[in-house]
């Protein structure tokens, strides 16, 4: 066991003054990016008092204490910030991007606002004394690059330009970048993007996105930073326990504690994401569609109203025109990559040598918007990724706009298109996918560049807040139709203005009253439990997921990591009771949300109430089926209230 005292280091950069400084925290105070993030937001900058786009809305981007060791799957970068979507403290993650962070500091903290768009270059030559270069770029030049450079658009174009401008740096350190696209300038749902590079050259298919909650929008709109270029020669292992930098020692530890060698433990735990021989597939897309079956979200959750035979017909389209081509192009070819760190799971399933194909984006820009063809979804996913959007949130935005067009709450000219999408599940045919793709592509383009006033409103305000405005603007339409704009959307509600849309699972856990959603910090199985039991399981899962993120561990490693990383933390870092610490951090987050006015609130959409009522029926909870049949809203309120009361009891 190591006896050396370790610490967590943060590099603060004020882009207003161009000053930077290092702060060091003992591990009993801060041992990861979420602990640092809530400390910075709650105690240092008190950002709950300030507008979400305040220059003091610090963007914390950090790694866990296992980065720089020989462990697999521990090189995630975690972003913490006050979200422009939820209005509360939020967390997003990207895989692999900490592997190239060969620096003495564990986290970046960006504050201040640059007068012109800024590119930060951060270099640690090996001395442990980072050097920062502040390079301004004209707004017009940045947009020109985003619109097209080197045969690419958006973040890929910006990376190509950076690779030329900083070629010596990338070649020297095999460095990496964190970028934003136009979505971060013109909307509140912009992502942080990091593309794996080899000596500055893009490795297509292994790019990563920290997207949920709009961290890219905070980097650009709050701080006016367009890119962070980083790399170095610092030996990170020297600030880590030496035992964790030696594979032989790690293997011996796992044989003692797990009864098997370390690589075997990792591969066995990551079967779903590498290759599942039972299904002859792998990755999230390959595993999820056969598992979710007819509970797969489709047509903006309108499939919840359809009988099983309609959903079965639609699911067959998914399996035939999405799942089977995916297996042929990505699994049979064994075109698998990592996120940029050495990892035996190789979860990135890449089609046609370029297209990383995961469940969430291909679902959100596929069946969820009425596109049942992988080749057509590919066009939308690639555009959304290049323009720097949160693919989950924009999938919900497009589906909601489609639903409103279909039902007459929007007219095509309102959102800059010439016709309505085909959005009728019962009569849907595969050929309708092409029409929906064309309309979605136009909406994405206009959102990304702020070209349409109504879509610009939605991009900045989000579905929930813009719905309230649209209810007033188009009051005559809502009166005639008998429902409001928000009644077509599914989202979790925070405070007076905040929301976040769920990941693509039909489960109460994705909209339950928890302090952070839009991630997997909840129970997301397809079940309908008593609210107290659901709350217990959801909070337990949230605390463990918080631990995972704070440790910088990839979720695809969670089956082994959640068992053994707490043990490794205690043994080699002297961090006692890591999961109890994670629960204490979760409690701090709840405190922050309360101060920020971003606590969970009862659902304000008819679609969400139906989502809950029909989930009770889908998952065969007879007691709650009866309650919803007797009084739908009253039953929903009871479930929500009992869940929230149990949350308060569990976190006391």
C-alpha distances in angstroms, 106 versus 63, 235, 342, 370? 6, 13, 19, 43
- Dump pLDDT digits (tens) for 283-306: 999 999 999 999 999 999 999 999
Q: Is the pLDDT of residue 184 over 60?
A: yes
**Model pLDDT, residue 321:** 98
Count of CB atoms situated within 10 Å of the CB of 147:
12
| Paired tokens of 553 | 């561990």
pLDDT at 340: 87
> Tell me: the pLDDT tens digits for 110-123?
999 999 999 999 99
> Which domains are assigned to the chain?
7-241 (3.60.9.10), 270-506 (1.10.569.10), 507-652 (no CATH)
Model pLDDT, residue 161: 98
Strands 107-111 and 7-14, sheet pairing:
parallel
The DSSP bridge pattern shows strands 192-194 and 208-210 to be: antiparallel
Distance, CA of 405 to CA of 619 (rounded, Å): 31
DSSP reduced 3-state for 26: strand
Tell me the pLDDT of the chain averaged across its residues: 96
pLDDT at 409: 98
Joined tokens for residue 544? 């463990």
Residue of 372, 325, 630, 360 lying closest to 504 (CA atoms): 360
Round to the nearest angstrom and report the end-to-end CA distance of the chain.
34
The single-letter DSSP state of residue 461 is: H
pLDDT tens for residues 539-588?
A: 999 999 999 999 999 999 999 999 999 999 999 999 999 999 999 999 99
CA-based nearest residue to 48, from 62, 38, 34 = 38
As a whole number of angstroms, the distance between CA 346 and CA 436 comes to: 33
Structure-model confidence comparison of residues 217 and 278, the more confident one: 217
The pLDDT tens digits of the residues spanning 201-247 come to: 999 999 999 999 999 999 999 999 999 999 999 999 999 999 999 99
Segment 159-169, tens digit of pLDDT: 999 999 999 99
Residue 616 has pLDDT above 60, yes or no: yes
- 61, two tokens: 């981007």
Burial class (CB in 10 A: 0-12, 13-18, 19+), 517: buried
Q: State the maximum Cα–Cα separation within the chain, in Å, rounded to a whole number.
A: 72
Q: Which helix (H) or strand (E) holds 141?
A: helix 139-147
CB 415 within 8 A of CB 458: no
pLDDT of amino acid 601:
98
Predicted local confidence at residue 593, as pLDDT: 98
Please answer whether residues 212 and 410 qualify as being in contact, where contact means their C-beta atoms are separated by less than 8 angstroms. no
Contact 268, 161 (CB under 8 A): no
pLDDT-based confidence at 473, cuts 50/70/90?
very high
Strand partners, 21: 12
Give the separation between CA 175 and CA 152, rounded to whole angstroms. Answer: 20
Predicted confidence (pLDDT) per residue in 368-419, tens digit: 999 999 999 999 999 999 999 999 999 999 999 999 999 999 999 999 999 9
52-105: pLDDT as tens digits: 999 999 999 999 999 999 999 999 999 999 999 999 999 999 999 999 999 999
| Band (342; pLDDT cuts 50, 70, 90) | confident
Rounded CA separation 365/378 (Å):
8
- The token duo for 370 is 């009425």
**The predicted structure's pLDDT at residue 130:** 96
Write phi, then psi, for 34 (nearest 5 degrees). -75, -40
Query: Span 31-50, mean pLDDT?
Result: 98
Where is 89: in which H helix or E strand?
A: strand 89-94
- pLDDT for the residue 18: 98
Residues in the chain, how many? 652
pLDDT band at residue 107 under the 50/70/90 scheme: very high
Nearest to 550 by CA among 527, 588, 579, 526: 579
Answer whether residue 1 shows pLDDT above 70: no
Take residue 549 and report the two structure tokens written for it.
């993120």
Helix (H) or strand (E) holding 649: helix 632-651
> Distance between CA atoms of 584 and 122, rounded to whole angstroms?
33
pLDDT digits (tens, 9 = 90+) for 582-612: 999 999 999 999 999 999 999 999 999 999 9
- The Cα 453–Cα 220 span in angstroms is 21
**482-498: pLDDT as tens digits:** 999 999 999 999 999 99
Distance CA 520, CA 507 (A): 12
Examine the pLDDT at 2 and tell me if it is beyond 60. Answer: no
Give counts: helices (H), strands (E), the chain.
Answer: 24, 20
Average pLDDT over residues 121-129: 96
Region 517-535: mean pLDDT is 97
pTM of the model: 0.97
d(CA 275, CA 556): 12
Paired sense of beta strands 118-124 and 225-232, if any: parallel
Contact 188, 214 (CB under 8 A): yes
Q: If we measure between CA atoms, which residue out of 181, 228, 223 comes closest to residue 59? A: 223
In which band, very low, low, confident or very high, does the pLDDT at 652 lie, cut at 50, 70 and 90?
A: confident
Within 10 angstroms of residue 90's Cβ, the number of other Cβ atoms is 30
Q: Is pLDDT above 80 for 3?
A: no
> Residue 244 — φ and ψ, nearest 5°?
-85, 0
The torsion defined by the Cα of 392, 396, 401 and 406, in degrees rounded to 10, comes to 130
């Amino acid at each position: 066991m190591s006896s050396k005292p370790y610490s967590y280091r943060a590099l603060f950069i004020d882009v207003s003054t161009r000053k930077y400084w290092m702060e060091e925290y003992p591990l009993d105070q801060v041992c990861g990016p979420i602990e640092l993030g809530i400390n910075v937001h709650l105690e240092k900058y008190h950002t709950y008092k300030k507008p979400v786009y305040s220059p003091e809305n610090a963007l914390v981007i950090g790694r866990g204490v296992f980065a720089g060791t020989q462990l697999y799957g521990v090189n995630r970068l975690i972003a913490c910030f006050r979200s422009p979507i939820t209005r509360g403290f939020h967390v997003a993650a990207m895989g692999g991007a900490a592997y190239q962070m060969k620096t003495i500091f564990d986290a970046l903290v960006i504050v201040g606002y640059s007068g012109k768009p800024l590119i930060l270059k951060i270099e640690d030559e090996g001395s442990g004394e980072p050097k920062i270069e502040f390079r301004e770029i004209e707004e017009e030049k940045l947009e020109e690059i985003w619109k097209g450079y080197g045969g690419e658009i958006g973040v890929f174009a910006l990376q190509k330009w950076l690779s030329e401008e900083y070629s010596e740096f990338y070649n020297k350190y095999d460095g990496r970048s964190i970028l934003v696209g136009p979505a971060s300038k013109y909307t509140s749902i912009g992502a942080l993007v990091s593309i794996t590079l080899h000596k500055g050259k893009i490795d297509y298919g292994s790019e990563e996105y920290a997207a949920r909650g709009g961290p890219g929008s905070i980097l650009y709109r709050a701080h006016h930073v367009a890119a962070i270029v980083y790399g170095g020669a610092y030996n990170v292992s020297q600030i880590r326990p030496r035992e964790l930098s030696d594979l032989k020692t790690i293997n011996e530890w796992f044989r003692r504690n797990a009864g098997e060698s370390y690589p075997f433990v990792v591969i066995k735990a990551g079967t779903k994401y590498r290759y599942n021989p039972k299904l002859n597939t792998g990755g999230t897309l390959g595993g999820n569609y056969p598992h979710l079956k007819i509970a797969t979200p489709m047509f903006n959750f309108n499939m919840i109203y359809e009988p099983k035979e309609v959903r079965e017909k639609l699911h067959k389209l998914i399996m035939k025109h999405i799942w089977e081509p995916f297996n042929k192009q990505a699994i049979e070819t064994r075109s698998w990559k990592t996120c940029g760190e050495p990892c035996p799971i190789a979860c990135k399933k890449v089609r046609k040598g370029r297209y990383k194909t995961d469940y969430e984006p291909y679902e959100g820009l596929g069946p969820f918007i009425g596109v049942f063809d992988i080749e057509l979804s590919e066009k939308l996913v690639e555009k959304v990724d290049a323009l720097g959007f949160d693919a989950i949130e924009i999938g919900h935005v497009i589906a909601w706009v489609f639903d409103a067009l279909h039902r007459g709450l929007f007219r095509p000219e309102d959102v800059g298109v010439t016709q309505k999408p085909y959005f009728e599940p019962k009569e849907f045919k595969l050929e309708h996918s092409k029409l929906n793709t064309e309309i979605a592509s136009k909406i994405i383009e206009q959102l990304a560049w702020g070209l349409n006033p109504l879509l610009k409103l939605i991009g900045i305000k989000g579905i929930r807040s813009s719905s309230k405005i649209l209810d007033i603007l188009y009051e005559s339409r809502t009166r005639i139709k008998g429902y409001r704009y928000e009644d077509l959307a599914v989202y979790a509600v925070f405070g007076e203005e905040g929301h976040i849309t769920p990941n693509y699972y039909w489960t109460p856990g994705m909209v339950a009253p928890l302090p952070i959603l839009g991630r997997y910090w909840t129970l997301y199985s397809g079940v309908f439990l008593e609210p107290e039991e659901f709350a217990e399981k959801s909070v337990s899962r949230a605390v463990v997921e918080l631990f995972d993120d704070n440790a910088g561990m990839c979720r695809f490693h969670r089956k082994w990591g959640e068992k053994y990383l707490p043990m490794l933390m205690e043994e080699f870092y002297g961090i006692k009771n890591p999961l109890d610490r994670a629960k204490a951090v979760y409690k701090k987050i709840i405190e922050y949300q309360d101060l920020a006015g971003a606590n969970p609130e009862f659902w304000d959409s008819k679609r969400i109430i139906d989502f809950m009522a029909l989930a009770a029926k889908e998952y065969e909870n007879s007691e709650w089926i009866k309650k919803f049949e007797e009084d739908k809203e009253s039953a929903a309120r009871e479930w929500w209230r009992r869940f929230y009361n149990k949350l308060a009891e569990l976190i006391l």
